[in-house]
Structure 1
């Protein structure tokens, strides 16, 4: 499940970003990092021969990868652009260059050239979607029953026969779908604005790639030496 974290809707250049990330991914990543640290430190302390070096190589290889796929992914959005921080790349897209935001089996942003960028921070959960759909169906059915019997609607007014009354928050949606909906609203609100012009930039995350590659090389050398 993904929960959007945003302090308030941005209203001026330089305003704080809305931040979207996966709390479950962050928690899982922290637990994995703790496990790797525990096993690695234990091997360093009590290991003999090449064991400590192997432990260093494994930690150097695994730690950046765990961070990349769990803690690192995030989407930042403000009045001017959205910044997508994926495991190995950072993509900055001004709103004027965003063609669409797609939500299927994965969540993606598509630029004007048709290039797709997956939003790793907003993983799609079919289970969460089905759960939200069932809750919405039950809510609508309950409101229809209230309307049929003349009960009070969601806002305290009298119900209308055969109709459902939407809640103040609208239909229930999975958290990742709600986050994409908010991003679509930002895109629509700032489409064509002069401050949203500019090109799409993509930067490789060498701070993740370099230590992982160094760990892989060290592991290969250790295995070669036997």
Structure 2
């Protein structure tokens, strides 16, 4: 997110400078470029989110929003990406990135903990944790727990709903068309 905000700041600074100080077609090209680039940067850096409530899971990806009642969720998994399987379809969870580096670090720490003297019958010291997991794996476990415990609720029934994010798609397409027209003229 920080990278996206910094990229937006840099693009805004350069784009507004080109609009205010540019000559000829430069202000129009800068405006078209900003109209194209700003929604794309927002879509891929700021927009992705996963919201888990008592009745449903809301997945907000770059170009669509998926609402999944807990009863429709078949499984949640994290291999190379985080995914939810629901209603015969697979949806990516862009907001829950899988880090293989974190997984390796957690596995090394678990191996160290298993070989430490505390695992040989001694009591663990303060600050020792029994289960060290990568962040994505822990998040997916929490979501699985929510799915299992809330699937039977009356409000958690229904079919998955997918809505395209036209608030991102429309300005991106408009900017792309305007940019192509400006480049061809």
Per the TM superposition, whether the score is higher than 0.5 is yes
Residue 140 (structure 1) aligns with: 114
Q: CA RMSD in A?
A: 1.7
Structure 1: runs of 5 or more not aligned: 1-25, 157-165
Structure 1 SS opposite 2:23: coil
> In the alignment, which of 6, 10, 13 is matched to residue 38 of structure 1?
13
Q: Which residue of 1 aligns with 2:62?
A: 87
Q: Match of 1:194?
A: 154
| Alpha-carbon offset, residue 154 of structure 1 | 4.4
* Equivalent in the alignment of 1:126: 100
**TM-aligned CA distance change 1:42 to 1:155, over 3 Å:** closer
Match of 1:64 among 34, 39, 47: 39
Following the alignment from structure 1 to structure 2, what is the Cα–Cα distance between the partners of residues 152 and 128? 27
Deviations 1:155-211 (A, max 9, x none): 79xxxxxxxxx83xx411111111111100100111222221112111110000011
In the other structure, the counterpart of 1:219 is 179
Q: For residues 126 and 154 of structure 2, what CA distance do their matches in structure 1 show? A: 40
Gaps of 5+ in 2: none
Q: How many residues get paired?
A: 185
**Does structure 1 residue 172 correspond to structure 2 residue 147?**
no
Whose RCO is larger (CA < 8 A, sep 6+)? Answer: 2
